[in-house]
Amino acid sequence: MPLPAKPKKLIIAIDGPAGAGKSTVAKLLALQMKFLYIDTGAMYRALTLKAIRKGINFSQGRQLTGLAKKTRIDLENKPDGTIRVLLDREDVSLDIRKPNISKFVSDTAKVPGVRKEMLMRQRELGSKVSCVLDGRDIGTAVFPDADKKFFLDADLKERVRRRHKELKENGQDVSLEDVQKDLCNRDTIDSSRKCAPLKQAKDAIYIDTTKMTIEGTVKVLLEHIKLSTQRGAV
């Protein structure tokens, strides 16, 4: 008797600018599909935290690359859908969301050697099981052959409002003005860097989430994935 067909391993890529809702949506999507969630931004954030602790100058690309190579970063999916980020086995899940990390993370992420190291690790993580990855270059560089690609966007004002609310909920006292400055600064560096800049992949589905709820966005993504699966396109 033939064995039942093994379900295909799927890779879902979600890219977009800061504050577009990528990580919340990706987390929920992964939870609903029972896929692994890989927060690639958390990897760059964890490395940035270590660089700050070591007093590394962010213009020193070689030092940052060296640091990346010898730094252990683990991402753990918890049963409730949240993730734990471990830097050399230390839980830094909250520390990496602080404003001083957001301020420097794009400088870490623009270093080609750092990106090369992170890309290798992200491919390795995504090679074993079905997963949802969110970031800036997932559909263009990390998994250009991803089964389904989405590019989430939203108006700057709405992205600032969301990020501000999220930071407040985490007990961080920041002004809307500062959040806007941070988002604009990161978007500029992320989309203008030479190596794997933030860019919509040609075959990604563009979704403007400005007027959408998180649940509504997850539903739209799920429908696209379901349609492609039914058509045998993935």
Q: Which residues bind ligand DC (CB under 6 A)?
A: 18, 40-41, 44-45, 105-106, 109, 135-138, 186, 190
Q: Which is nearer to ligand DC, 33 or 107 (CB)?
A: 107
Q: Structure tokens of 143?
A: 């998994």
Contacts of 81 (CB under 8 A, 6+ apart): 27, 28, 30, 31, 37
CB of 182 to ligand DC, least distance (A): 9
Find the length of the chain: 234
C-beta of 59 vs 230, nearer to ligand DC: 59
Whose structure tokens read 């589905």? 205
Closer to ligand DC by Cβ: residue 126 or 135: 135
Give the nearer residue to ligand DC in terms of CB position, either 162 or 212. Answer: 162
**Residues contacting residue 19 through CB under 8 Å, at least 6 positions apart:** 154, 159, 160, 162, 163, 183
Smallest gap from residue 9 Cβ to ligand DC (A): 20
Minimum distance from residue 21 beta carbon to ligand DC (Å): 11
Shortest distance, CB of residue 234 to ligand DC, whole angstroms? 21
Of the pair 35, 44, the CB lying nearest ligand DC is at 44
Place of tokens 């649940």: 215
Which residue in 190, 210, 202 sits closest to 140, CA to CA? 202
Which CB, 121 or 224, lies closer to ligand DC?
Answer: 121
Tally of CB atoms within 10 A around 60: 13
Work out how close the CB of 102 gets to ligand DC at its nearest, in angstroms, rounded to a whole number.
7
Query: Rounded to the nearest whole angstrom, what is the least distance from the CB of residue 196 to ligand DC in the complex?
Result: 7
CA distance 201 to 144: 8
The Cα 126–Cα 148 span in angstroms is 14
Question: What CA–CA distance (Å, rounded) separates 51 from 49?
Answer: 5
Whole-angstrom CA distances from 83 to 12, 77, 86, 140, 221 are: 18, 5, 10, 24, 21
Closer CB to ligand DC, 83 or 205, in the complex = 83
Tokens of 12: 């879902």
Q: How far is the CB of 138 from ligand DC (least distance, A)?
A: 6
